[in-house]
Structure 1
Amino acid sequence: MDYEIFDLGDVTLQSGVTLPNAFLAYKTYGELNEKKDNVIVYPTAFGDHHVQNEWLIGNSMALDPRKHFIIVPNLLGNGLSSSPSNTPAPFDKANFPQVTIYDNVKLQHRLVTEKFGIQKIALVVGWSMGGVQSFQWGASYPDMVERIAPFCGGAKTWPQTYIVLDGMKAALMAAVGHDSSKLNQLTSADMRAVGRVYAGWGLSQTFYREELYREMGYDSLENFVAGVWEDSFMRMDPHNVLAMLWTGQNGDISANSAYNGDFDKALNSIKALAIVMPSITDLFCTADDNEYEAKHIPNAVLNPIESIWGHFAGRGINSADNKFIDDNLKRLLET
């Protein structure tokens, strides 16, 4: 096991449901300095584990473990932290309670403060649903978080994003005839269609038109869709996916008692220096949505990723996009 567990005990979620014996899986990179002011929090995205974040961590990179103490907490529902697949009855499988982005960040805050005694965070950074969490950190703990850098993720789930996630959910629901009482019958094989649904959204039209999948070693469109999208989704537990889809569909940094749904107020409350990096070809976490958000955050700069890799410009695959993100993080950390 290449990660650690932080036991949270019985946790009362935003929904009012108590999740017994909850825990966060996390991994750290580098050493916490004496002042405890070299901290970077880097939450995981939908379906990802901490290892999928490691492309952005390394010597001479912005997230340099020789300089920084980097904490990567795993999203609730991702199979490593408390999830439908590892929680005993009565909260197993389809019975797992609804968990919000706010819940995730609140529990990550407990990890950071209770386990490590940290009071200041130099940077919260994240891709996709990790980006949503970085916005939430900035809104929930404005005096603690000095910088945020969300890429390919919004401060709330805008309607287009919601619909895309709903399509993925519908593919799973169809496998049980849209009968929610049969959800516990779902298996990983039922994830095949979810991968196909997502394939059209994760990358841009130009990516497909220019057949960039050939650079990844796939000789045809069909082999790429089967080899990347079907394969990666069929490795996921369908109940974990349903839990994370709910979290994703209900993301909103203002959906809590601090802001009572006032989204502009929540954005305006973020004191952190922010670089917001949408991909200009992202089909469902759009640059337009991020532009609105950045305008309402006092110390934010919008710096779009000029890429044809769509949402996956932030996935650590394309070297030019990786360098752009890393360069922006270096600039932000030096500010």
Structure 2
Amino acid sequence: MQDYKIFELGDVVLQSGATLRDAKLAYKTFGTLNAAKDNVIVYPTWYSGQHYDNEWLIGPGMALDPDKYFIIIPNMLGNGLSSSPSNTPEPYNQARFPGVTSFDNVNLQHRLVTELFGIEKIKLVTGWSMGAQQTFQWGASFPDMVERIMPFCGSAKTSVHNFVFLESVKAALTADAAWNNGWYDTPPKKGLRAMARVYAGWGFSQAFYREKLYLQYGYSSLEDFLVAFWEGFFLVKDANNLLAMLWTWQQGDISNNPIYNGDFEKALGAIKAKAIVMPGQTDLYFPPEDNEYEASKMPNAEYRPIPSIWGHFAGGPGMNKVDVKFIDDALKELLAS
């Protein structure tokens, strides 16, 4: 049973100049849109994640309570459900899938929200990692529509160091001969396993490994964690999809569009939404100082780090109850404000 719906976008001209024909946006909703259409929360997906992977933050009694709010999870292009290298017909299939930016993603999500549901105001946009990048983009692209944002463990602009990290991930994946420049018939599993090993050193903090916290979560050794968690995490995913989303991540910049023409401070200053900007205190991809700077340039933002040694994974996907509560409590506070 397919538990999501497809919004048909038609022919979409992307920032890259390519036209994605018969483009599709997969989405899932929770709760009921009220008569006033003012109980809307938009909750974008993250790198490699699909809507299923966002559901840990939704439930009765939580901030994202489907008994109170109409929650929309739009799947990012490239994630295998929305238009992606793995499901787009020739000629834009596999390695020919065009580059998609966060600006593109958010514009298409805006079409879903307005054209399908007739929504004019969004109570909250929130998301983890690349979901946070899209959250910032929503605030900058549609400042009069978005009332609140809470991006967690993600930045408004991909830093140079983050870009370089992603180059190492890409190099590990594409070094596998089976990758075949993106025209593989069987998955490049050696590359996917190598990518997972690179990722493992960045996803969690030095302190997480020092304290061997993986042993508390059913892994019998460090090697078991690297194989069972990390390699298992990536082996089920399509390599071209991962590379497409990686490109989106590398291009992350809320000002790199016709609205702001690269003026990053102007884009941050244009975000009217009440915001809690929430980095992971020990995040190695999106270090707190990047978010501290961004929040300082936003007119209505509080900077509030997650006090955790879980690194980037303090933000998801629901692995650690202490950090989940910290995020959920902040969302409740923001929604009540």
- 2:180 equivalent to 1:187: no
Q: Distance in 2 between matches of 1:174 and 1:199?
A: 18
5 Å-filtered alignment, 1:149-160, equals 149-160=150-161
The alignment's C-alpha RMSD in Å is 1.1
Q: Distance in 1 between matches of 2:24 and 2:216?
A: 40
Map Cα deviations across residues 229-264 of structure 1 (whole Å, 9 max, x no partner).
101111110000110000000010000011000000
- Corresponding position of 1:292: 293
5 Å-filtered alignment, 1:23-38, equals 23-38=24-39
8 Å CA contact retained: 2:125, 2:150: yes
8 Å CA contact retained: 2:27, 2:74: yes
Amino acid at match of 1:331: E
8 Å CA contact retained: 1:12, 1:18: yes
- Corresponding position of 1:220: 221
- 2:169 equivalent to 1:139: no
- 2:336 equivalent to 1:334: yes
- 2:320 equivalent to 1:318: yes
Report the CA distance between 1:183 and its aligned residue.
Answer: 2.5
Map Cα deviations across residues 305-324 of structure 1 (whole Å, 9 max, x no partner).
00010000011111010000
Q: Distance in 2 between matches of 1:259 and 1:332?
A: 27
- Corresponding position of 1:84: 85
8 Å CA contact retained: 1:188, 1:235: no
Q: 1:188 to 1:4 in 2, by over 3 A?
A: farther
Amino acid at match of 2:183: N
Amino acid at match of 1:145: V
Report the CA distance between 1:182 and its aligned residue.
Answer: 2.7
**Structure 1 stretches (4+) deviating beyond 3 angstroms?**
none
8 Å CA contact retained: 2:126, 2:132: yes
How does the TM-score come out when normalised to structure 2?
A: 0.97
Report the CA distance between 1:174 and its aligned residue.
Answer: 1.4
Amino acid at match of 1:112: V
Report the CA distance between 1:188 and its aligned residue.
Answer: 4.4
Unaligned segments of structure 2, at least 5 residues: none
8 Å CA contact retained: 2:281, 2:288: yes
Map Cα deviations across residues 39-79 of structure 1 (whole Å, 9 max, x no partner).
00000000001011111000011100000000000010000
5 Å-filtered alignment, 1:106-185, equals 106-176=107-177, 182-185=181-184
Q: Distance in 1 between matches of 2:95 and 2:271?
A: 35
- Corresponding position of 1:259: 260
Report the CA distance between 1:96 and its aligned residue.
Answer: 0.2
Q: Distance in 2 between matches of 1:62 and 1:217?
A: 29
Report the CA distance between 1:181 and its aligned residue.
Answer: 7.0
8 Å CA contact retained: 1:44, 1:129: yes
5 Å-filtered alignment, 1:35-50, equals 35-50=36-51
- Corresponding position of 1:272: 273
- Stretch deviating more after TM superposition (278-287 or 182-191): 182-191
Q: Distance in 1 between matches of 2:311 and 2:293?
A: 19
8 Å CA contact retained: 1:176, 1:183: no
How does the TM-score come out when normalised to structure 1?
A: 0.98
Unaligned segments of structure 1, at least 5 residues: none
Map Cα deviations across residues 69-127 of structure 1 (whole Å, 9 max, x no partner).
00000010000000000001101101100000000000000000000000000000000
Q: Distance in 2 between matches of 1:15 and 1:284?
A: 25
Amino acid at match of 1:328: A
8 Å CA contact retained: 1:199, 1:229: yes
- Corresponding position of 2:106: 105
8 Å CA contact retained: 1:188, 1:236: no
Q: Distance in 2 between matches of 1:175 and 1:252?
A: 30
Q: Distance in 2 between matches of 1:254 and 1:131?
A: 15
Amino acid at match of 2:4: Y
Structure 2 counterpart SS, 1:36: coil
